[in-house]
Amino acid sequence: MKGSLLKRFDLNGRIAVVTGASGILGRVFGRVLVEAGARVALVDIDGKGCASLAARLCRLRRSSAMAVPCDVSDERSVERMAETVTRTWGRIDVLHNNAASKSSDLESFFAPYERYALKEWRSVMAVNLDGMFLVSKVVGERMKRRRSGSIVQTASIYGLMAPDQRIYEGSRYLGRPINSPAVYAASKAGVLGLTRYLAAYWAKDGIRVNALVPGGVESGQNAEFKRRYSARVPLGRMARAEEMAGALLYLASDASSYVTGQAVVVDGGLSAW
């Protein structure tokens, strides 16, 4: 029994796509899928970053990864990405719909709600939610033809619950004061709604759709933020990026063959109280 269960986590021979592959979490997600045996298309608007990551993964396992530059907010770019993967490797078995934007304009991104610009709102939504729609639509159509596939969409704990504004007092990221803007929470709540919809919509076609919901991950926040955030978490600390990888592997693999429409929360217990 032990051997057969572990084998269900094996992705040997599977073809996977990871969007947002150059990000803090994306780099970890691409690696764990390669380690599990998949060939992985690393998709990101940062083509150079993806190419570097693909080269490292191919040293880990030959011909295991390729970089595919793509703007997930642009439908033609998404179509080209999916065509490149299927032309090269024949199909897509696993989609990790992971790309998200924090905007290149941090002043606008972290602006108070009362002064939040509609242009900034739409810019973030174009990646965080429109991008999820476009990539799932284009890749899901291909999966539907084969009547098989697993789609995992990255949401956030702040798509499930509101941020505690008190933890941002004295908190900084990349040298500037931070908060968690409403556009981020709204977009990630939308990801959860889209996930449940697609799970029911595509169930008859053999496609499973689930959400991975990370809690706060260490990624350059200052000590004050880490202290305040950790005080809210039963496990008493923020997550490490690699601690999200096990949940992805479970949802991507046959280990979760009877799981769809679910939000798997990896938050150290934050949402438990």
Catalytic (active-site) positions:
184
Residue 262 and residue 251: Cα distance in Å, rounded?
A: 10
Which tokens go with 79? 């179509």
Contacts of 121 (CB under 8 A, 6+ apart): 183
The strand ranges marked E within the chain are 15-19, 39-44, 65-69, 94-97, 149-154, 172-173, 176-177, 207-214, 263-266
Sheet strands side by side (includes 65-69): 65-69, 39-44, 15-19, 94-97, 149-154, 207-214, 263-266
Give the DSSP letter string of 221-268. B-HHHHHHHHHTSTTSSPBPGGGGHHHHHHHHSGGGTT--S-EEEEST
Tell me 269's DSSP state: T
**CB neighbourhood size of 59 (10 A):** 10
Contact 23, 98 (CB under 8 A): yes
DSSP letter, residue 159 = G
Answer for the pair 9, 252: CB distance below 8 angstroms, yes or no. no
Token readout for 169 is: 């007092």
